[in-house]
Amino acid sequence: MVSDSELKVVVLGLGYIGLPTAAVIARTGARVLGIDVHQNVVDTINSGKVHIEEVDLDGLVSGVVARGTLTASIQIAPADVFVIAVPTPFGDDHQPNIGYVLRAATSLAAVLKAGDTVILESTSPVGTTEKVRDLLAELRPDLKAPGRGEAGDYALAYCPERVLPGRILVELIDNDRVIGGITPRCARKALSFYRRFVRGACVTTNARAAEMTKLTENAFRDVNIAFANELSLVADTMGVDVWEVIRLANRHPRVNILQPGPGVGGHCIAVDPWFLVAADPENTPLIRTAREVNDGKTEHVIARAAALIEETAGPVACLGLAFKANIDDFRESPALKVAAGLARGFGARIRVVEPYANALPHEFDGTGATLVDLDTAIETCSTMIVLVDHDLFRSVPVDERAGKAVLDTRGIWPDQPRDGRVAPALRLAG
């Protein structure tokens, strides 16, 4: 086996998954070349800095760049292992777009040689790895493609990333990995690569099963969050505290309900279930409905918050823009959608608190809304809309919230007084 320091790895795509992955592999001593289409990303990394926020990533990247085990480029080069970690978005019609994956495969085809291993990590519709194989076969007829009746000259596998933003560097090492080979031999070859840096179990299967496993994991979470969000609407109608109900129901040994919120954000759970729906629309009513319930929750929160704001006077604090707690990622964020929607309706009355932002995103342009710190919001706003469960917001004690009207979509303040007259505070399910 090639020693760590002799192993050459190319990681295509230096985003939220590609960069941490490249850095973790570079830490083993392997020589890693990270490829990105954006020159500014390449320059940032080569200067030892990072263009994305992730716990401990800056220190790791500056270390491996200084050691010379990680470099970045827009130009591909030969390697032993190629890891594709590019985005797979969907279009307006919810159809997956694997264009970036195919472009990455096209670029590595130029330098592919016998003995190499190619691994796709991007969340992908079932059958994508086979499409990559067919593309490589077409571009490189001089090399035998795997899975076409004979042993291939190179290995090709699908191994989905499964890391949670905010815990990426830990989960890259500790999580189990599912490795789906185009052939069992391809899976074993990819397995020997992951064993170099993964402490979790590495389980092998075929490429299609691995592709569907990834989509299944995120659809499972989406469906379960939709259940919690639907419950929150029912509880609101009934005048019951949904978090109390969930806490009590979860005392049953076989019940484990997730948490309601203002909707589902991020670039994975709100996207991936559509890949299953697009593949088999007739047989996916539950998965599609869950998506609609979660998106509908955001609209519901906007309407609920608008009604509350209309009943009150003075500035209104919207707490949080991130798509979930304690991160700076605003992609597909329901909190951002709610706050921006309210800013469009109520203009300068809206004061946004987001400890992870230096300025309001462009969605607020021209609305008159402002970004303020938490203390200013507490001092000046008699109405508060909780949209993200950042630790900073959780820590606001009950006496600082006294007398305020509160719409808490995350259930972070169970002690919020309910006496609507003395302290006009509401704890609504959102």
Asked whether 156 and 82 are in contact (CB, 8 A), the reply is no
- Give Cβ neighbours of residue 51 (< 8 Å, ≥ 6 apart): 19, 40, 41, 44, 45
Asked whether 13 and 87 are in contact (CB, 8 A), the reply is yes
CB of 252 to ligand SAJ, least distance (A): 17
By beta-carbon proximity to ligand SAJ, the closer residue of 61 and 163 is: 163
CB of 22 to ligand SAJ, least distance (A): 16
Name the β-bridge partners of 81.
9, 117
By beta-carbon proximity to ligand SAJ, the closer residue of 183 and 333 is: 333
- The two structure tokens encoding residue 62: 């500056």
Give the Cα separation of 246 and 260 in Å (integer): 10
H-type alpha helices, 110-206: 128-139, 168-174, 184-194
CB of 242 to ligand SAJ, least distance (A): 12
Phi, psi of 101 (to 5 degrees): -65, -45
Show contacts of 195-199: CB within 8 Å, 24+ apart: 196/4, 196/7, 196/25, 196/28, 196/30, 197/24, 197/25, 197/27, 197/28, 197/172, 197/173, 198/172, 198/173, 199/173, 199/174
Strand pairing category for 117-120 and 31-35 = unpaired
By beta-carbon proximity to ligand SAJ, the closer residue of 76 and 385 is: 385
Name the β-bridge partners of 204.
179
CB of 247 to ligand SAJ, least distance (A): 13
CB of 141 to ligand SAJ, least distance (A): 35
CB of 166 to ligand SAJ, least distance (A): 7
By beta-carbon proximity to ligand SAJ, the closer residue of 116 and 161 is: 161
Asked whether 53 and 327 are in contact (CB, 8 A), the reply is yes
By beta-carbon proximity to ligand SAJ, the closer residue of 174 and 375 is: 174
Name the β-bridge partners of 157.
119, 181
3-class state of residue 4 by DSSP: coil
CB of 106 to ligand SAJ, least distance (A): 24
Closest CA to 328 of 266, 255, 277, 411: 266
By beta-carbon proximity to ligand SAJ, the closer residue of 258 and 426 is: 258
By beta-carbon proximity to ligand SAJ, the closer residue of 261 and 315 is: 261
Closest CA to 86 of 58, 105, 66: 105
DSSP, res 253? T
DSSP, res 206? E
CB of 205 to ligand SAJ, least distance (A): 18
Question: How many other C-beta atoms can be found within 10 angstroms of the C-beta atom of residue 176?
Answer: 11
By beta-carbon proximity to ligand SAJ, the closer residue of 221 and 344 is: 221
Q: Which residue is nearest to ligand SAJ (CB)?
A: 268
Give the Cα separation of 388 and 373 in Å (integer): 15
Active site residues: 214, 268
Q: Which residue has the tokens 């906007």?
A: 302
Q: Which residues bind ligand SAJ (CB under 6 A)?
A: 123, 161-165, 217-218, 221, 225, 258-259, 261, 264-266, 268-269, 323-324
